[in-house]
């Protein structure tokens, strides 16, 4: 991926950078602006670390399974959340290994503030998982949809401020979660 300096050099050299190259340069610039403040504020970093774990495997799987065991009225929510989580995770893993975009800690001067689960950045699995499960809950509880979805979006944002993903990685992961949710709704699950 090309950073801003390489983008300017390509323009100066007369080569037209591709749309992906321009996107990557903007994505890196936005990442630098968003990731730095969290590194210097201990309280913000602590809150971000706690919230980011809501998109991790343990929390996402428990949130998807909970309706299956909690109440006889909720199995549909659980099935939808679990199917969305599994399907979106499969897509994320295929895309991660196909694209192979390195984590920001490998391509910028910003260190990750939490452990990176793998070396691939695009798309964000945490952002995908959080939104995949949240969409199932939001569909089942429309009156609580706003706070549920807001929390999932915040989980995605924590991945950027903690230095483990570029903003575009998060947006792509959330797009995968939304597409998976809509696909499952169309399929009747």
Give 110-125 pLDDT, tens digit per residue. 778 888 888 898 999 9
Tally the domains of the chain: 1
Mean pLDDT of the chain: 83
Give 74-133 pLDDT, tens digit per residue. 778 888 899 999 999 999 999 999 988 888 888 777 778 888 888 898 999 999 999 999
Residue 20 lies in a domain: no
Q: Name the pTM for this structure.
A: 0.82
Domain span at residue 63 reads: 38-186
CATH at 82: 1.20.144.10
- CA 40, chain centre distance (Å): 23
On the question of pLDDT at 16 being above 60, the answer is no
Residue 23 lies in a domain: no
Residue 160 lies in a domain: yes
Residue 132 lies in a domain: yes
Residue 171 lies in a domain: yes
What confidence tier does 134 reach under pLDDT thresholds 50, 70, 90? very high
Residue 107 lies in a domain: yes
- Average pLDDT score over residue span 21-38: 75
Residue 161 lies in a domain: yes
């Amino acid at each position: 991926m090309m950073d801003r300096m390489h983008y300017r050099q390509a323009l100066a050299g007369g080569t037209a950078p591709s749309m992906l190259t321009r996107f990557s340069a903007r994505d890196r610039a936005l990442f630098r602006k968003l990731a730095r403040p969290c590194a210097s504020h201990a309280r913000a970093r602590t809150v971000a670390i706690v919230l980011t774990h809501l998109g991790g495997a343990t929390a996402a799987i428990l949130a998807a399974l909970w309706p299956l065991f909690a109440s006889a009225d909720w199995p549909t929510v659980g099935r939808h959340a679990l199917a969305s989580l599994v399907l979106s995770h499969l897509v994320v893993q295929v895309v991660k290994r196909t694209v192979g975009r390195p984590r920001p800690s490998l391509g910028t001067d910003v260190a990750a503030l939490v452990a990176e689960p793998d070396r691939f950045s695009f798309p964000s699995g945490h952002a995908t998982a959080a939104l995949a499960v949240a969409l199932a809950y939001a569909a089942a509880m429309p009156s609580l949809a706003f706070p549920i979805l807001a929390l999932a979006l915040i989980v995605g944002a924590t991945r950027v401020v903690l230095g483990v993903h570029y903003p575009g990685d998060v947006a792509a992961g959330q797009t995968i979660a939304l597409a998976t949710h809509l696909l499952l709704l169309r399929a009747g699950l």
